[in-house]
Amino acid sequence: MNEQLAARARTLADLHAAGRPLVLPTVWDVWSARTAVSAGFEALTIGSHPLADSRGAADQEGQTFEEVIEAVRPIIAAVDVPVSVDLEAGYGKTPAELIAGLLDAGGVGLNVEDTVHSEGGRVRTTAEHADYVAGLRAAADAAGVPVWVNGRTDLFAHASNHDEVLDDAIARLQALVEAGADSVYPVKIHENDAIITAIVGAVKAPVNCTAHPVKHDVARYARLGVGRVTYGPLLQSALTDYLREIVTPWKTN
């Protein structure tokens, strides 16, 4: 099994190295995953927020790790492409436990963030977050699967002024790469071209940006040097808006 997973992980790494923004549609169930693959996408990511919404749960670790793993298992099994899973801040699990659960479900990539929801929403220090990423890398290496680790920081999400935290965020992202992260994900910067450009220029790893599938376009992200694009909750949000638009005329009183 691990040989098959290792092959999928290598495929995911190759896709990141293609010299263009890798767009990973953020899915949440078997239907959305199969739909994205049928549209031609070669890899996917499962987002914590849309997954939680689809299950009537809360984001920010409103589900247990065990519940998340059981929820993503059929999604991953339904498609024949590499799948990454947003595992939030780790649900209070050790890096080894996180990797073991991910691989058991068939995933070959993950997001891990620095807002620790199980501890009141505190933010890990740079050293602490880097240590957690290093633990993920060590556990994946021990399992023989080059799991793609997407190191996320929420510093911009917690800041009222992005410029004031830019230097700290860059230092944190650089530390994550040094610790073994394959890409980095500074959330809430997707509307700020200057911040994106500064981070892309400073970090020697693909930078992940969130995108809205209708309001944004991939050419902009390519121009800014972004290496990886995901939708976060915005694809599900766009579909929610469209669903409401098309069914509302059918409402009768």
Q: What is the CATH number of the domain that holds 198?
A: 3.20.20.60
What residues pair up with 112 in beta bridges, in sequence order?
Answer: 151
DSSP string, 14-54: HHHTSSSPEEE-EE-SHHHHHHHHHTT-S-EEE-HHHHHHH
- Say what the pLDDT of residue 7 is: 98
- Say what the pLDDT of residue 253 is: 78
- Say what the pLDDT of residue 18 is: 87
Q: Which residues of the chain fall short of a pLDDT of 70?
A: none
**In the chain, alpha helices (H):** 2-16, 30-38, 48-54, 65-77, 95-105, 126-143, 162-179, 193-202, 218-223, 234-247
- Say what the pLDDT of residue 186 is: 98
Count how many domains the chain has: 1
- Say what the pTM is: 0.97
- Say what the pLDDT of residue 125 is: 98
Residue numbers of the domain that contains 15: 2-250
- Say what the pLDDT of residue 19 is: 85
What residues pair up with 158 in beta bridges, in sequence order?
Answer: none
- Say what the pLDDT of residue 74 is: 98
